[in-house]
Amino acid sequence: MSILEYVRPEIRSMQAYQVAAVEEGFIKLDAMESPYAYVDEMQEELGKQLSQAPINLYPVPNGDGLAEDLRAAFDIPPNAGMILGNGSDELIDIVTKALSKEGATLMALEPSFVMYALSAKLHRMRYVGVSLNEDFTLDLAATLAAIEAEQPALIFIAYPNNPTGGRFERADVETIIKTAKGVVVVDEAYSAFSSDTFMDLAGQYDNLIVMRTLSKIGFAGLRVGYAAGAPILMDEMAKVVPPYNMNQLSIVAAKFALQYQPFIIENTERLKAERERVRTALKAYEQIEDFPSEANFITIRVPDSNLLFDTLKQNKILVKHLHNAHPLLANCVRLTIGRPEDNQAVLAVIEQLYGRT
């Protein structure tokens, strides 16, 4: 008997999460990373602090003050409970694990972040996807009907949504939180680029968890995420958090990052301005359909997404091809917003393909 017979069949049928190997000289616009790294003197200062991190000791739960620094920096209500995760991917895993009673259902909107369905599978929850409208807005009637019919224990809503970029109507999400009996996670990975947040309500609804990350604001490599909600619920989540899930180096680096908030704010503002500039530029092309974005990426539909993806690649630009991810994403490509010159390189390829000659 092969050793593989011992592996869970649903895991055998999966593929490991694909992280593209990027060749030297490529412009990487596929994963919503910030293009802005620390300049020399900040690198040096961070290096000094990292050299003093107590890596011989296990990290303190809640990150040696990091949770309180995050609370202060990002307006997390004082009456909300918090947990920290090794990226918000780990928080998705933790919340799913805590709610994965036998036969329980996890619901997500589609298309949305792929980790939700994956997490359901890994924790043996029933998965129900509710389709968005064709323009990627939320179909409130269908969503409420699905909640009524399926009684999900857990609903994930990315706000703004990935990979579509738009933010759903606040009132619709609030209706979902009020209607659902189970937990609703509002995943605000892109909150820094968004005009709205549910963080102010964290702690006010027993069934609401607001989840965020430092990944999209310049620190994808640190793997730091945080979640806030009613203490009664977050205390249960805390039981599932692996001991020592955060590491001393990330804790030191994240605390350092929060001391230099102007760096974060300045880069966020630059990327938001670039997003608007790129979106305006895209409007000039009749063949391109662009969707509203409150994130650091823009998703577009073109006549032939293979052609656009391949041509960008020939020009050493890597973006995310969404064509096969979901039927509603036919011929769609997701462009992470980079530095002005990176975005200009994308627009030059678009002009070459879709410009009037």
Ligand X SMILES: *Cc1c(COP(=O)(O)O)cnc(C)c1O
Regarding 30 and contact with ligand X (CB under 6 A), the answer is: no
Contact predicate 83/94, CB 8 Å: yes
Contact predicate 116/92, CB 8 Å: yes
Please report how close the Cβ of residue 111 comes to ligand X at its closest, in angstroms: 11
Q: Which of 83, 107, 113, 186 forms a contact with ligand X (CB under 6 A)?
A: 113
Here the tokens at position 352 are 């070459």
The smaller minimum CB distance to ligand X, of residues 113 and 285, is found at 113
Please report how close the Cβ of residue 3 comes to ligand X at its closest, in angstroms: 30
* Whole-number Å distance between alpha carbons of 2 and 325: 32
Q: Which of 99, 104, 158, 185 forms a contact with ligand X (CB under 6 A)?
A: 158
Window of 82-90, 136-144, 242-250, 316-324 that interacts with ligand X by CB under 6 A: 82-90
Window of 146-154, 213-221, 274-282, 300-308 that interacts with ligand X by CB under 6 A: 213-221
Regarding 213 and contact with ligand X (CB under 6 A), the answer is: yes
Site mask, ligand X, residues 224-263, x = CB under 6 A? Answer: -x--------------------------------------
Element (H, E) at 320: strand 320-321
The smaller minimum CB distance to ligand X, of residues 88 and 105, is found at 88
Regarding 189 and contact with ligand X (CB under 6 A), the answer is: yes
* Whole-number Å distance between alpha carbons of 131 and 138: 8
Please report how close the Cβ of residue 212 comes to ligand X at its closest, in angstroms: 8
Size of residue set near ligand X by CB under 6 A: 13
H and E: helices and strands count for the chain: 12, 13
Please report how close the Cβ of residue 118 comes to ligand X at its closest, in angstroms: 12
Q: Which of 64, 93, 187, 294 forms a contact with ligand X (CB under 6 A)?
A: 187
Regarding 294 and contact with ligand X (CB under 6 A), the answer is: no
Beta-bridge mates of residue 318: 28
For residue 129, what are the CA distances in angstroms to 50, 153, 157, 268?
A: 43, 14, 11, 32
Q: Which of 96, 119, 162, 248 forms a contact with ligand X (CB under 6 A)?
A: 162
Of 119, 185, 113, 159, nearest to 334 (Cα)? 113
The smaller minimum CB distance to ligand X, of residues 187 and 342, is found at 187
Q: Which of 87, 111, 166, 338 forms a contact with ligand X (CB under 6 A)?
A: 87
Q: Which of 89, 93, 274, 294 forms a contact with ligand X (CB under 6 A)?
A: 89
Which pairs count as long-range contacts for 88-92, CB under 8 Å and 24+ apart, including other chains? 88/187, 88/189, 88/211, 88/212, 88/213, 88/215, 88/225, 88/226, 88/227, 89/115, 89/225, 90/223, 90/225, 90/245, 91/211, 91/225, 91/226, 91/227, 92/116, 92/119, 92/156, 92/185, 92/187, 92/211
For residue 75, what are the CA distances in angstroms to 24, 199, 259, 275?
A: 40, 7, 15, 25
Please report how close the Cβ of residue 223 comes to ligand X at its closest, in angstroms: 7
* Whole-number Å distance between alpha carbons of 291 and 300: 6
Window of 140-148, 212-220, 320-328, 345-353 that interacts with ligand X by CB under 6 A: 212-220
The smaller minimum CB distance to ligand X, of residues 87 and 111, is found at 87
Window of 34-42, 48-56, 84-92, 276-284 that interacts with ligand X by CB under 6 A: 84-92
Please report how close the Cβ of residue 254 comes to ligand X at its closest, in angstroms: 12
Regarding 117 and contact with ligand X (CB under 6 A), the answer is: no
Sites of contact with ligand X (CB under 6 A):
32, 87-89, 113, 158, 162, 187, 189, 213, 215, 220, 225
